[in-house]
Amino acid sequence: MSTTFFAPNLRNAGLAGILAGVGLIGEFALFSASGQQTTTLDHAATALPFLRDHGGLIRAATLVGAANDALAVVLYAGLAARIWASAPTLAAAALYLGVVAVVGDGLVALSYWVGIPGFVDLAAGSSATAAPAWEGFQATVSGYRGLADLFVGLALAALGVAGVWKRSLSMPLSVIALLTGLAAIAAPLGVGAAYLASLVLAIVFRLWAGVELVRTPE
C-alpha cells in the first residue's frame, strides 16, 4: 500500500520538527514572561485581572503555539512515513491520533487568541457578567486541552512501541516518545508535575525526532 498520501520528504519533516521544538521553547518563554502560573487562568477572580495586564503576551504565546501545531503535523507525517514499512498500523495510529491532538491544541490556542480581547472588554464593563462567562469558557478550553493531551500521548505511545518493538526508530527516541506520551496522558489527570514534565519532554522529543529525520539516509 502506498504511503504517498501522507509521506513528506523526511528531511523537511525533520526540519519542521526542529522548528516545532524551538517554537515550543519560545511559547513557554512568552508564557513565563507574562508571569502566568499553572492555575492563573483557571478562575475568573485571577484570570480577568491578569489578562487585563498581560493578555497581549498570552495571545502572542498562543499564536506561536498555533504555528507550532502546523509544524507538528508535518513532523507526525514524517515519523509515520519513517515507521510505515515495519509497523503500518502503528504508523497510521501515530499520524491520525497526532492530527487529532494538534486540532485540540490548536483549538486551545485560537480560543485564547480570539477570546481574550472580548473578555478584557467585557470585564471592564461588567465584571459580574464576565466572571461566569469566563468560567464556562475556561471549562471548554480545558476540554480541548484534555483532548490534545490524551491524543498526543496515544500518538507518541504508538511511535514508541513501534520503535521498541520493530526498531523503526532509534531506541533513545523510542524511549523519549514513550515517556512523553505517558506524561501527556497523566497531565489532564492532575498527576503531580506531569504538565511540566510533558512540556520538557515534548521539547526534547520534537528536537530529537527532527534531528533523526534530517539524518535519515535518502
Residue 218 has pLDDT above 90, yes or no: no
3-state secondary structure the chain: CCCCCCCCCHHHHHHHHHHHHHHHHHHHHHHHHHCCCCCCCCCHHHHHHHHHHHHHHHHHHHHHHHHHHHHHHHHHHHHHHHHCCCCHHHHHHHHHHHHHHHHHHHHHHHHHHHHHHHHHHHHHHCHHHHHHHHHHHHHHHHHHHHHHHHHHHHHHHHHHHHHHHHCCCCHHHHHHHHHHHHHHHHHHHCCCCHHHHHHHHHHHHHHHHHHHHHCCCC
Residue 3 has pLDDT above 90, yes or no: no
Q: Where do the domains of the chain lie?
A: 10-214
Q: Per-residue pLDDT averaged across 174-195, rounded?
A: 87
Q: Give the pLDDT confidence of 122-181 residue by residue, as tens digits.
A: 998 877 889 999 999 999 999 999 999 999 999 999 999 999 999 999 999 999 999 999
